[in-house]
Amino acid sequence: MTYKILNKIRFKKLILFSIVYLFSNTLILSQSLQQIKESGKIRVAFTESSLNSVNYKFAFEFAKFLNVEMEVVPVKWEETFSNDGVIPNNFQTTPRINYVPDALRKADFICGTIYQYEWRKKFFDYAGILQLSDLLIVPSDSENLRSYEDLKGLTIAFLENTSYETHIEAINNRIGGGINFVKTKSEKESIDLLKKAEVDGYITIAYNALETIKVSKDFKIAFPVAPIKNAGWAVKKGNTELRNEINNFFETIKGNGKLNELFTKQYDIDYNTYYEIISSYSQTQNVTTLQRDLDEIIESGKLIVALRDRLMVYNKDKKQFNTYLAEEFAKFIDVELEIKYTPYFSKYFENANGEELKDSSYTPEWFNYFDVACEIIIPLESRQKKVNIIPFIPYAQVVIGRKNVKINSLNDLKKFRGVTSKGSAQEVILIDNNINNYYFTEGNNFLRDISSGKADYAIGSDAVFQINEYSNLEAKFVIGQVGKDGWAIKKNQPKLRRKILEFIDYAKKNGILDKYFKIQTGMKFKSTENYLTVLQETYQPGVFPFVFYGTKEGLPQEDVLAIFQDKDNYMWFGTHSGAVKYNGREMKVYDKTKGFYSNSVFDIAQDKDGTMFFTTLDGVSILENNKINNIFTGFSFRKIFIDFKGNKWFFGDDGIAKYSFDGDERMLNKENLNLPRKVYSLTMSNQGITYIASKEGLFSLDNEFKVHKISREPSYYVFIDEDNQMWISTISGIHIVDLNNYDEQGLGKNINEQLNLPKNDIVKSIVQTKNGIIWFISDAKIFQLITLEQKPIIYDENVGLMKQRILSFAKDKEENFWIGYSGGIQKLTNKSLRLLYPEVINSYISSIIEDSKNRIWLSMNKHVYVLKEKLENFTESFNHDEKSYVVSKLPNGNIIIASNMGLYEIDVDKLKIINKNIFKKPLQHLENIFVSSQNELFLLTGLVGNIYYLENFKSEPVTLSNNSTSLVYQLVEYDDMIVGGNKTG
């Protein structure tokens, strides 16, 4: 009886609980990703502080990413954790307390900087993770706080029930107490208390701290009260698709530069620099000595820098790049500059005994005599154990030699005499590759010694910028990847490090780096990394791994006449079957059925208001607010130019039309008969002079509407770059003029011979990308020009371009190349990758192994290839019935090859077969081979389901086959066991 009653009570409780649970869930408005897209609206919860932070911009961009509207849902911070307005006692530590918080019942996600703590994962999932820290804000005129001990006796405000409270309490306990706390209900209340001087400081998250010091010079950041942690947005638990989409969005904006762009708009500093700065703040508490940091430098009125007599660093007769920068940094912190001359490079890393101990950590003796080494120091691990290196100058290790010396690889260097600097990163490369025929001198002498024949080669990180001064020298190849070198300071100078980072960011934005780097090298600073990357890519064998888009991928027609990326990062393609909008997943077509007058779209552009323009065979179509309007119908236009006033110029076979910013439509050829009719290109100078390239020659149109014929030579393109230079493509080649000193007499200097451009390739288009690089596009080639001092890089069929006429070209914000042809689109996403030997290696590769001699072994179904200097078919002489080859390494370092018919051991030194085991009967198709530490062999068949076991090389295979062996493609050795896995476990 008791049992029945007890169960009835439990049953009633269960029913009651179920009703409450169901009722509670009816209040939850959090939508799935599919529901959000169907409704066309996403509800985003913001606290007051997050509304004013960069999070609002992120959320707005995310809504655009989904192509939906954003609805702002204001919430209080407490609602992130409250349940029906109540935060239960011990909600953080009691596992059984979990529910959907109030904020996620009102919105689809919470957009804020919510620190990632394990206990919070009971209530929501995290998405869009970025790095943050809690910072202490104090008045600008307050004394500098050097450590947590200085907080004793101060009154600090912070928002209650946040990580701020947790962190400041921990600090208070650590220093033995003495900090006075004021808990507030909002961030605004904390700020107001500081403004009224009722507290000595307040704690806030890094985003809010940046906003505060940007808005008011009355405050400054003291130091962090917490280490750098992950923080992100909150999504209802189980809403996996929305969480994944937010993560995808953040990966996208990191990749295409939008994250940095939004951060800069909000805080006047990009995200990468911000992260470096909070990293340097986070080191503040590690200061243990009384050496000079930023405060002491400013107090003394003098910055002491170390410079060495070297290219790019210092020269008494000709000022170098780093000397200019040192002077600018001294101005930036408003102090005088003093220079300490460094006699030789290795002195930077010597201890008090004059020794450089590679693997030891110590402060080098020389660093006690200056504040900053304004050098070009490569951040090797051994150096970073001793000092803080602040890398910002792009570099690559380039092998430079005379043109008549055949050097194609590191192995070739052993045949020749090299020159390097003692203790340099270049010497380390030579030592690591067992190259010992070289001598030492200063870097300034490298090119001179090579040119004269004293040396055959050098490895240089910056000498490559000076090659043009020596006509008999050239870059041979690049070793490794493009990196960054830079200045160095002591480990106990966090504030100085932070200020240097701020200066570098300032110098980038204000053209200081570009100015001085161009004086030194002839190219802008922002172009250098791209130049070195291109140099590296140029000397790699193989072709680029292009991605192809055609009708199968959604194009309505494969003549791609125009390629354009809009402000929201969507790609647009113009074809003879309409304009195509591509979001990375699907293509949407705009054509006659949507309101265009013609399906042939020749060019696409967008004005600053977001309105889209399309030139067609029958006028111009305008897409604005999802509505299409057509103007200049009856005329055919090929191209669009939008000037700095917002006027749109359309031109092509029927002359020039102008659509003014106020909507006025004019056919200019009817108003001025001196204008050419067949127009290929048009541009405008800063003074408002319009330059026109046409079949009849090059023309100018001034502000009074007067036409001047500059040249009768047929001109195909005219373009003005960011340095106010005009580039003109004619039938005789490329010409360049400086518009600052141009009297419109002639075409300027022909640079075809200087750049070694082919005479029969007429350039039909000229483009400059945001990194300052100029691109020439002809019918069959694309030329990438970094500087007039170096030959352009050529992209043609030798690197994988289609053997079709190039109709269009664009480089998007993610650095992808898009090339349109009469046959589809090629997209190049990663120029550091190469397809090697595509004609030979054209089937499935089962395994890739590198042996101790740096050879690469590739196994395929019918052959095994070896790659070192060239590709060789190692199994060419094997039995033709053998197939499904796999390859691995034996514990003794030799190579083992297995096929369906036997095993072969290859002596890695002599490349000879020294052992073989021919099976009594053929095996089934092999996918992989595993060799245990005990020389046991396992041959895997994957889908077939068999694993062949051989106790040793001479054994006959034993077949293992059951449910556990199917779909096993890989084995590992762990704790004396051989372990594999498939979908069953």
| Half-sphere exposure at residue 228, Cβ-oriented, CA atoms within 13 angstroms | 14
Amino acid at 609: D
Q: Counting every residue, how long is the chain?
A: 985
Is position 245 within any domain?
A: yes
pLDDT digits (tens, 9 = 90+) for 665-702: 999 999 999 999 999 999 999 999 999 999 999 999 99
Same domain, 117 and 159: no
Of 270, 286, 302, the last residue of a domain is 286
**216 part of a folded domain:** yes
Q: Within this chain, do residues 942 and 924 fall inside the same structural domain, yes or no? A: yes
CA dihedral 687, 692, 698, 701 (to 10 degrees): -50
Instruction: Please tell me the distance from the alpha carbon of residue 184 to that of residue 194, in angstroms, as a whole number.
Output: 12
Give the pLDDT score at 285: 44
The answer to whether residue 844 scores a pLDDT higher than 90 is no
On whether the pTM is more than 0.85, the answer is: no
871 and 918, same domain (yes or no): yes
Q: Residue 959: give its domain's CATH number.
A: 2.130.10.10
pLDDT at residue 8 greater than cutoff 60: no
Q: Which runs of consecutive H residues, i.e. helices, occur in 304-412?
A: 321-332, 381-384
Question: What would the DSSP string read from start to end of 779-815?
Answer: SS-EEEES-TTSPPEEESGGGT--SS-EEEEEE-TTS
**Domain of 80, in residue numbers:** 23-132+227-286
Structure tokens given for 140: 């600008």
pLDDT band of residue 541 (cuts 50, 70, 90) is low
Whether 344 is covered by a domain: the verdict is no
pLDDT-based confidence at residue 444 (cuts at 50, 70, 90): confident
**4 pLDDT band (50/70/90 cuts)?**
very low
Report yes or no: 325 and 344 within 8 Å, Cβ to Cβ: no
- Does residue 155 share a domain with residue 200? yes
Same domain, 84 and 140: no
Region of residue 198 (phi > 0: left; psi between -120 and 50: alpha; otherwise: beta) = alpha
Tokens of 609: 């208001």
792 band by pLDDT with thresholds 50, 70 and 90 = confident
Q: Residue 529 has what pLDDT?
A: 75
For the segment 889-902, what is each residue's pLDDT rounded down to a tens digit? 999 999 999 999 99
Beta carbons within 8 Å of 314's beta carbon, 6+ residues apart: 307, 308, 320, 322, 323, 339, 341
Domain-embedded: residue 88? yes
Phi, psi of 569 (to 5 degrees): 75, 10
Residue 591 in this model has a pLDDT that exceeds 60: yes
What phi and psi, each to the nearest 5 degrees, are found at residue 728?
Answer: -125, 125
Share of the chain above pLDDT 90, in %: 53
d(CA 738, CA 580): 38
Task: Identify which of 53-67, 267-281, 523-537 has the greatest average pLDDT.
Answer: 53-67
Bridging pattern class, strands 601-606 and 612-616: antiparallel
Which pLDDT score is estimated for 841?
62
pLDDT of residue 470 exceeding 50, the answer is yes
Q: Is 468 helix (H, G, I), strand (E, B) or coil?
A: helix
Candidate from 324-328, 602-606, 657-661, 973-977 with smallest mean pLDDT: 973-977
Region 709-723 average pLDDT:
95
Residue 910, classed as helix, strand or coil, is coil
DSSP summary character for residue 942: B
Q: Is the pLDDT of residue 265 over 90?
A: no
Residue 515 lies inside a defined structural domain of this protein: no
Residue 537's pLDDT is: 67
Same domain membership, residue 243 and residue 108: yes
For residue 261, give the nearest of 515, 422, 54 by alpha carbon. 54
Closest to 218 (Cα-Cα) out of 201, 235, 238 = 201
Listed residues 199, 224, 249: the one ending a domain: 224
Average pLDDT of the residues in 56-68: 93
| CA dist., res. 197 & res. 205, Å (int) | 20
- 487-506 pLDDT, tens digit per residue, is 999 988 888 998 999 999 99
Closest alpha carbon to 867 in 535, 635, 542, 569:
542
Residue 961: the pLDDT is: 87
Shared-domain flag, residues 161 and 89 = no
Of the pLDDT bands very low, low, confident and very high (cuts 50, 70, 90), residue 18 is: very low
DSSP 248-285: HHHHHHHHSSHHHHHHHHHHSS-HHHHHHHHHHHTTGG
Residue 321 lies in a domain: no
Residues 6+ apart with CB under 8 A from 826: 546, 547, 548, 549, 800, 801, 802, 817, 818, 819
Question: Which residues lie below 8 Å from residue 613, measured CB to CB, with a gap of 6+?
Answer: 604, 605, 606, 607, 620, 621, 622, 623, 640, 642, 648
Interval 129-146: pLDDT, tens = 988 888 899 998 888 777
**To which residue do tokens 């992989």 refer?**
928
**Cα(584)–Cα(244) distance, rounded to whole angstroms?**
16
pLDDT on residue 291: 63
Mean pLDDT of the chain: 87
Q: 180-184 and 134-139: which strand pairing?
A: unpaired
Query: What residue has token string 């930036």?
Result: 332
Do 42 and 121 share a domain, yes or no?
yes
Contact by Cβ (8 Å): 896, 931: yes
Instruction: Count Cβ atoms below 10 Å from residue 750 Cβ, excluding itself.
Output: 15
Segment 625-673, tens digit of pLDDT: 999 999 999 999 999 999 999 999 999 999 999 999 888 999 999 999 9
Task: Give the pLDDT score at 26.
Answer: 39
Same domain, 856 and 895: yes
- Residue 146 is given by DSSP the state -
Res 13 pLDDT > 50: no
Residues 255 and 208 in one domain: no
Say if 951 falls within a structural domain. Answer: yes
Report the DSSP pairing between strands 219-224 and 571-575.
Answer: unpaired
Structure tokens given for 637 = 């236009």
Examine the domain organization and report whether 863 and 933 are in the same domain: yes
Calculate helix-pair angle for 206-215, 258-267, nearest 10 degrees.
50
Number of domains in the chain: 3
The vertex-763 CA angle with 760 and 764, nearest 5°, equals 130
Question: CATH code at 150?
Answer: 3.40.190.10
Give percent of the chain above pLDDT 70.
93
Considering the domain boundaries, does residue 497 fall inside one?
no
pLDDT at 276: 67
CB contact at 8 A, 97 and 77: no
Q: How many other CB atoms are found less than 10 A from the CB of residue 83?
A: 18
What is the C-alpha separation between 812 and 264, in angstroms, rounded? 20
Distance CA 272, CA 131 (A): 11
Q: How confident is the model at residue 10 (pLDDT cuts 50, 70, 90)?
A: very low
17-28 per-residue burial string, b: 16 or more CB within 10 A, e: under 16: eeeeeeeeeeee
Alpha helices, DSSP H, located in 27-161:
33-39, 48-51, 54-66, 102-106
Q: Are residues 121 and 187 in the same domain?
A: no
Tokens of 155: 């009154």
CA gap 278, 280 in Å, rounded? 5
Domain termination site, one of 174, 209, 224: 224
